[in-house]
């Protein structure tokens, strides 16, 4: 009787482990899909002006009376390639690729943010 119980619980453990592995795979797949579902949001003075997919490589020229910024989306990363602002903080900022990361150009009141 005792032996039989032990065999059943061993099988249960194996079954639970298989379930856990399957669950981990599902979580990994969801996580991967999420990563490719990121967006790049451009805001000026607090208003969202453009939203781009982080998956599509492109170049966008943001221009106001204050000046311009050339924003580049490349290989899932975003950076400012060129700008005529006085501090060039946006141009010198490292590339961003994670949700919540931002590049801010204070002189142009431009905020580039990665969102889901």
Binding site residues, Zn ion, CB under 5 A:
83, 85, 90, 105
Q: Toward Zn ion, which CB reaches closer, 35 or 89?
A: 89
| 109: DSSP letter | T
Least distance between Zn ion and beta carbon 57 (Å)? 22
Least distance between Zn ion and beta carbon 68 (Å)? 10
Q: From CA 75, how far away is CA 56, in angstroms rounded?
A: 8
Pick from 26, 105, 58, 104: which is nearest to 113 by CA?
A: 104
Least distance between Zn ion and beta carbon 13 (Å)? 58
How many Cα atoms occupy the beta-carbon half-sphere of 32 within 13 Å?
Answer: 6
Q: Toward Zn ion, which CB reaches closer, 3 or 65?
A: 65
Q: From CA 100, how far away is CA 26, in angstroms rounded?
A: 24
Q: Toward Zn ion, which CB reaches closer, 96 or 105?
A: 105
């Amino acid at each position: 009787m005792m032996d039989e119980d032990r065999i059943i619980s061993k099988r249960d453990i194996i079954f639970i482990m298989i379930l856990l592995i399957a669950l981990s795979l599902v979580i990994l797949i969801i996580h991967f899909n999420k990563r490719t579902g990121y967006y790049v949001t451009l805001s000026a003075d607090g208003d969202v002006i453009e939203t781009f997919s982080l998956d599509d490589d492109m170049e966008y020229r943001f221009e106001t009376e204050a000046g311009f910024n050339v924003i580049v989306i490349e290989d899932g990363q975003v950076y400012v390639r060129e700008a005529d602002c006085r501090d060039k903080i946006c141009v010198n900022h490292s590339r961003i690729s994670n949700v919540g990361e931002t590049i801010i150009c204070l002189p142009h009141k431009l905020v580039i943010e990665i969102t889901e």
